[in-house]
Structures are given as C-alpha cells and as structure tokens.
Amino acid sequence: MQKIPIGILGATGMVGQQFVRLLTNHPWFDITVLAASEASKNKTYAKAAAGRWFWESEIPTTVRDIQIMDAVADQVEIAKKVRLVFSAISLEKEATKALESAYARLGVAVVSNNSAHRSTPDVPMIIPEINADHAALIDAQRKQRGWTTGLIAVKPNCSLQSYVPALQPLREFGLEDVVVSTYQALSGAGKTIDSWPEMQDNVIPFISGEEEKSEQEPMKIWGEIKDGIIRPANLPKISAQCIRVPVSHGHLATVRVRFKQKPTLEMIKTAWKNWQNPVAELNLPSSPTQFLEYFEEDNRPQTRLDRDRDRGMGISIGRLSADPIFDCRFVCLSHNLVRGAAGGAVLMAELLTKKGYIL
C-alpha cells in the first residue's frame, strides 16, 4: 500500500517525540509534517529538540532536517500536506478542541492523545482490543458535522490503560464495584527526575484530574452507540486514587473487584488466559503478540522489568488473590508513553485505516 502522509502536532514534547520514534519507518504512515508552537517554527527538528530530547537513542535521521511548522497558524498549509495528524499539542482544553476540530473540518483525520474531546459524545474513545466497534461512530460524526474525510478520534487517559484491559475479560462475571489505585510515572506529566527535583525520594498523592478520568472514561469505553453518540455504561462503579511516584516510565495499578456472580480465582485466570484479542486478525503493525499476560511470580509484574513487554504495548497482570472485603484483588502494569499514549494512538490509527476511515 502507498504510505499515508501524516503530521505530528506537538512534535517536540515528550509524547510528540514518542510519536516520532514509533512512526519513523512505519509500514503504513509517512512522517511528512512536524508541527509545534510558534517558538519552534522554521527550525529543523534536530535544532528544536536540542537539549530536550528525552531518549538515549539519537533523533532519527529521517526527521532531523524537517522544518517545524506552526500547528496553529499553519493549519491550512499543513492540511494540504497530510491526511492524518496525531495530536499531542499542549494548549488549554478549549483551544485544543477548537484546533482539532479545525483540522477535521479541513478534511484531516485527527487521532488525539489529548483529553479535550474525550467527553465529546460523538467522538469515539478507543482501545482497539476492547471497543473497536466504536469506530462506527465516525459515520455519524461526519454526517452530523458535515465532514467527508475529516474525523476526530481519541485514546483514553494513560491512567486507566493498565486496569481496564485486565477488567475486560472479567465483564462476563458481572463487574459491579472496582477500587483502583494507580502509581504513575514521571513521564506521565512530561517530566524526568532531573527536571522535577521535588519528586526525588518522594511520592505525591495527587494528580490533577486523573481520578475523575480514571472513574469516568471507562464508562464511555464500555458504552454503546445510540442516536449518533456514545451512551456511557452504568456499571461497574469505579473509585480511583492516582499517585505520582519517582519512576521514569510505567503506570502500575492495584485493583479490587466485586462481581455480581463471584468467580473462583482459577476462573479469573482462565478468563485472562483464554481471552481472544478481537482485532488480532487485522494484523495491525503495532498490535502486541500477547495483549494480556498473567505472571504467577509473587513479585511480578515489576515496572522496570515488565513495562516494555511486547514493545510496550502489552498489559501485564499479577498477584491475583482473594480479598477480605471485595471478591478479589490483583496488580496490573502498562507503559504509559507507549500503550498509554503514542503507541495506543498509533494502534487506533491503524485500526481506523484498516476499517477504511483514513484513506
């Protein structure tokens, strides 16, 4: 297939850089535009990222000399060069919504890492292995908004992408109540231990907006399309606490669950083991070989050991046991910048391409 020309909005930030790394030499997508703020305009990507490149690997040679465009001021020109943009732009919420809508009106498919449109009823929020069917909402979105090739689709918050996949196979037992605590890496805030000295030898038990997102966004993921919008699910009830810990990458979650029909621990393990990835047959380039993996060892999953499993796209689970108040408890782990951010967005774009929404 001929590669689809794509752009990255917010290409100099941490998530934008991860998009660059994942999309360099992608078999379906070709990086044509790198865009950021006005301050970076007309600089080469190498110069704009100098001193703020977060990775041990070098800036890919194929993008070093691309001149940065202004994601806001140059949107009409950018739209002429690309058919898809990945949005990791750092703006206020309303400004982000307006910018992403503007690109879609110009005929560009927008796949966003941002939170601005996650609560917009006709914008699908997709984890491909869980709710790929929500891509069908794009038909209604285009009809309602008068778009033809433009679209907006978003990925959910990184905080919930460790435990929602683990809960998905357990829905057959009737999920009723979920209590989750997430222990979230510095890169989730776009920081490193060097740039955030307050985090050294410290834990901060507050991340603005994360708990609300962790409780509400799964309801949209598990919702249903009706009358051209997503109707959120009512169950399970989720109570979340989100905590920042001095770890570079990887969000770990502890989960307690109460079921309508209580399964045995072996039934839960079997559900995880036998769960079939419903989009595996699409052969999406970024799809993990094994989406869910359960570790029998008492001390797994561990952030440093397991966050990169399956190129950072796999979900690791462990420590399943009975709970004296709830029915069971377990631990989950995901890579927040890969599965939780850029990688999840790339996988969603591959899904939308395969389904014919991005041409």
Residue 242 annotated among the catalytic residues of the structure: no
Phi, then psi, of 322 in degrees rounded to 5: -70, 150
* Token duo for residue 13: 């930030």
* Token duo for residue 226: 């009706």
In angstroms, the Cα distances linking 12 to 15, 50, 312, 336 are 8, 9, 21, 18
Residue 332 annotated among the catalytic residues of the structure: no
Of 185, 233, 232, 237, give the one whose Cα is nearest residue 215: 237
Distance of alpha carbon 353 from alpha carbon 4, whole angstroms:
9
Peptide bond into 165 cis (omega under 30): no
35-56 exposure pattern, b = at least 16 Cβ within 10 A, e = fewer: bbbeebbebbbbebbeeebbee
Distance of alpha carbon 99 from alpha carbon 122, whole angstroms:
17
Choice among 251, 328, 332, 335 that is catalytic: 251
Of 250, 231, 253, give the one whose Cα is nearest residue 334: 250
Choice among 158, 242, 328, 332 that is catalytic: 158
DSSP state of 263: P
Of 121, 103, 358, give the one whose Cα is nearest residue 225: 121
- Give CA 143 to chain center in angstroms: 26
Active site residues: 158, 251
